[in-house]
Structure 1
């Protein structure tokens, strides 16, 4: 029987509809093990980096210093780079803009080398992309979405960064700045945009020393692409190798040092585990909890270089860094995995996709591809948390990536474990395809309980009430209804930067008809819990999510 919330807020007002008509009907997917579908045999570039933007376009790019790609730039466009080791004049694209709803793409023009770079999206929706290799290691690149997407392209600033940022990590901050941390032999961090800071290493450098990064570097430099998560107290959880700290970046002080993660495994590149901040739930006391899974035993990288491919780690660790005496709680995945991508699903579960069962990241250093995703239920019974899904048709090894898209599917692409594009006479050819995984919640059997958001606001404000209208074909059950926002990630090298999910506080539910309702909720309570910017708003009913609707949190 339907239980109603007491509606205690002002009368409902539909502010605007933010869902395109093309999203209303999802293609049917059978089965409870999920389903893979190939979208493109080739998009011309290997998807080393991916970022979903708020106009439902995805920026995808590779590196520029390996020679020609398989996608030409528009007529009369060529990249002129006297510093390139392979092609001084290159008339092929190394970046594309993909449209989620039309399944089409077009080439973009990148000048400087984006190999192993990082990124974050500003509160206004502009992608800021930082660092790389060669002439790109000090570069900042800007991509601003535009209507239609036909004229947007990269704008580049070759020497903006204070230090060489190759394998660094970005995190958007509550004040709208981006922190850019680490990189190969870089034991420091800096900000975009730049600002005066008395803590800089020198007045001209703009970088701030962080000894933790020097301390955690081992012979394999396993602290590259350190994991960073913004905590609800405003500090940063930073994990490198097998150790972690809480950093007050405003004062450059280490607030807390956490216990070393058990199990003889390293988690950051090139061992390449993955990490997420589990959903923050505003309907109860906020608990921040970090989940880290996979990686490789210490020394695996050197072993792989010698031709010995060690089994990857099957362990996961969880820690609550804001507790007084936090400790790691360890679990075992059903499949060992390095180079896996961990993504938050609209249900609050975590999917782990891509990667290998043996070896590490690096040229030719991975073996035994893991083609079956695993879904992890953080709050299920310990013996029921992991479920193994259906197998993909393509192995995704080194230089692959994956992201969540608005209809709840996971987009996966890339895989190029070679110095150049190589399609023949190798065990794992370069893969330029795109495919999508539909999790079990997209199965056709759930259509009767799948909610559809029919109207939602374009903007939300912290702590302020707002309402959405929605439709459920049958069987609405109010006590299994939730509303969440998810910040899309910048994904590369097994880490989804800036990804976060907040379950919003529900206040009221009002029926308009037997199958149409108004739901009232509160915007996120603080900027530390949800920094300003664009998020996907998902309504979940009985474990089945709606299509996501874009909202701007101001």
Structure 2
């Protein structure tokens, strides 16, 4: 056999290069096959037990076609069902057709049902009452109009009645007001102007005009009917004293953008009858308000846009739960941007974390602080970095609530800015001089982040986008973030969680279920995946199962009382109580626009007996407001039980 010559270095290099070129060609030609193989391997990896024990697992909830809605609000009821409120769902056609939707989902059997929805609860405020009913107030009275769509100049007309002797006067829709410019302006709605009132000051009698506001539109199209400064208008057809006593005034009538107008209707949703119960109307119309629970069981409504799309100037009001009616709260005058994140503290103050949903002054009312409701005293809390980027940030009262630490996460600049921050910060409200201190950064600059308190004293965070409503940012087509993390307050660190498959930004929600899973829904992107066309509301629902659900058997609460008192005790039967290490009361969520002032996890003092555990509820009403809670017990591996519902009175 003739020996073959040994390949030269040049020949070996040429051979290797040819092999690489052939391999590259195969890869290019079979790129779909390679991608398919990679996807299959990823699916295999995330479904391994070892992966789920470390990172958790996501699954898609099959939602029947008739129950897919634009989830704007979500709340966990004490029946274990999830209330999903769309209202008109940020859809003008639905609004004009009067098509408003609410869906109930039962996680125990994945059954869905529709709930009659009387008015447009889109962008209302909500919170739980001590009874377990969900108070839902405000919402949408009118949709925004962009400048490009406004053909007739419009403005808010204040109609005045200076006669105290002839009673109130009603003006129908389309009443004509005449300007000194010769133009005609028509009212959009029926209004009634109250009579003037007489007030005596010593020997002098003063008359105070009655007044009401209404939108008016110019009869004439175009810019000719624009009035850019305050002016007075007469009512067509009135003569004599009526013409002098009844008139209109308007600051301006223009073709500027008209913001959403707030509604003033108010309801309690009853989890038992699964129906909305009408209560008395709010004092003011409110769109994007926050409803904050007070320690005595009443509710404070703050901020929002009025019926004409104007920011309410610090005018707040209180819901008297026992009377089912709203009353003014003039002693609690305080300006906030819309949907401010307000947390009830154990000393019965409200802490404004700085998080908000956007509308309002760029500067006024945005500073974080502690609000003493008894004195209407607001003490600003310093130390927050990226202080101009609290809009669309998230905030959470860290577990356990006794530590009185509030964390703010992410956020963006005011308005539709693409700029956002990865900053987190923590304020310890138990300190003599509380201040924000830096926490660990998020993996990416993020706004619209979801935060959910878990029963093992950690916080699950997920989704969001780096840009406004997931919009294009720098060289990206979409800025949605398919990431999730778990924050550990004891070590002040994040650990990576399994990645979701559905992007979520504006109008998205997440909340804890009684079985320990987290449900995520909603998202209202401004653009589609190309970054060029209008986006479509995300109607898929995805559920995250944390790692503690893959550790084997869970502790089980088999029996116990339904009612507990502040400062009182209760004994619960638990299978194998020797393994139980902790007990927590977790208040259910009512979340919208990254704002959830309800959720909190309260640590319970606990003793273990031969058949179960005895827990003691803290006595402070500010720490444990009256209402329904999920009771979880956690074993020595950090694995929580399924929840048992208890009512704290």
Shorter-chain TM-score range: 0.7 to 0.9
Q: How far off its partner does 1:189 sit? A: 1.8
Deviations 1:274-323 (CA, angstroms, capped at 9, x unpaired): 11112246xxxx43111111101x35x343xxxxx33x211111011232
Aligned partner of 2:442 among 333, 345, 366: 333
Distance 1:209 1:85 in 2: 40
Q: How far off its partner does 1:65 sit? A: 6.7
Q: How far off its partner does 1:195 sit? A: 9.8
- 1:345: which partner in 2? 454
- 1:134: which partner in 2? 141
1:345-364 pair list within 5 angstroms: 345-356=454-465, 358-361=466-469
Deviations 1:123-144 (CA, angstroms, capped at 9, x unpaired): 1111110111216621112210
Is the aligned partner of 1:108 residue 2:76?
no
Aligned partner of 1:34 among 53, 56, 60: 56
CA gap of 1:210–1:33, structure 2 versus 1, over 3 A, is: same
Is there any run of 5+ residues in structure 2 with no aligned partner, and where?
Answer: 1-48, 143-261, 306-310, 356-365
Provide TM-score, normalisation by structure 2.
Answer: 0.65
Distance 1:236 1:410 in 2: 27
Q: Would the aligned equivalents of 1:224 and 1:240 in 2 still touch at CA under 8 Å?
A: no
Distance 1:359 1:62 in 2: 24
Distance 2:511 2:94 in 1: 31
Distance 1:408 1:179 in 2: 30
Distance 2:479 2:95 in 1: 33
CA gap of 1:65–1:329, structure 2 versus 1, over 3 A, is: closer
SS of corresponding position for 2:55: coil
CA gap of 1:466–1:145, structure 2 versus 1, over 3 A, is: same
- 2:369: which partner in 1? 245
Aligned partner of 2:609 among 496, 507, 510: 510
Q: How far off its partner does 1:536 sit? A: 0.3
Deviates more, 1:425-434 or 1:137-146: 425-434
Q: Would the aligned equivalents of 1:65 and 1:85 in 2 still touch at CA under 8 Å?
A: no
Q: How far off its partner does 1:56 sit? A: 1.0
Distance 1:213 1:93 in 2: 31
1:179-198 pair list within 5 angstroms: 179-184=300-305, 185-186=311-312, 187-193=314-320
Distance 1:364 1:457 in 2: 53
Deviations 1:62-87 (CA, angstroms, capped at 9, x unpaired): 132755xxxxxxxxxxxxxxxx8765
Is the aligned partner of 1:456 residue 2:456?
no
- 1:433: which partner in 2? 540
Distance 2:583 2:340 in 1: 30
SS of corresponding position for 2:338: coil
SS of corresponding position for 1:355: coil
- 2:508: which partner in 1? 400
Is the aligned partner of 1:60 residue 2:67?
no
SS of corresponding position for 2:112: strand
Is the aligned partner of 1:294 residue 2:410?
yes
The number of residues matched between the two structures is: 456
CA gap of 1:189–1:229, structure 2 versus 1, over 3 A, is: same
RMSD: 3.0
Q: How far off its partner does 1:416 sit? A: 2.2
Q: Would the aligned equivalents of 1:231 and 1:237 in 2 still touch at CA under 8 Å?
A: yes
Q: Would the aligned equivalents of 1:272 and 1:360 in 2 still touch at CA under 8 Å?
A: no
Structure number with higher relative contact order (C-alpha < 8 Å, ≥ 6 residues apart): 1
Deviations 1:356-403 (CA, angstroms, capped at 9, x unpaired): 1x22349999942122211100111x4xx1012112121112111111
CA gap of 1:114–1:424, structure 2 versus 1, over 3 A, is: farther
Distance 2:268 2:524 in 1: 25
- 1:548: which partner in 2? 643
- 1:16: which partner in 2? none
SS of corresponding position for 1:31: helix
Point out the structure with the larger helix share: 2
Distance 1:544 1:189 in 2: 43
